[in-house]
Structure 1
Amino acid sequence: MGELYAWYHQNLKYGTHTTLILGAKFSLKPDSWVRPIEQNLPLPGAAADNFGNPYPSMVIEVSNTKSS
């Protein structure tokens, strides 16, 4: 199990507090996200956010109630 844990933290980047741009008037603020560290940068205009980051490989959203 320790080897698997080390692999995840060596090859994957985890984060929170981001806003993903999904369309001209639509965005999503996930609880957390995961993306490979060595992921290529997207083409201009195809980034997930204003910092030019690629879209995450996994978005995690957890809640007990739905809020709008």
Structure 2
Amino acid sequence: MAYFAHSDLSPNYKLFVITGFCGALTTFSTFSIEIVTLLQSGKLGMAMLAISVHLIGSLIFTCLGLAIYYWVAGH
């Protein structure tokens, strides 16, 4: 983070990289704490369900995003 904040990169690129990193970090840490909390509460089934829903959902929406890209780009 400090490298990108104090580098000679354009301000737009710095904003893109730092925002993307922070967004990914907060999203992943929220997912992780949700799963850990379920496991600590003894809710193994709910933890496994949450992991499955997050994983399958992300794959579905990634495929959907790619399909939309190819449709818009005319591939």
User: TM-score, structure 2 length as denominator?
Assistant: 0.30
Higher strand share: 1
- Higher RCO (Cα < 8 Å, 6 or more apart): 1
**Max Rg structure:** 2
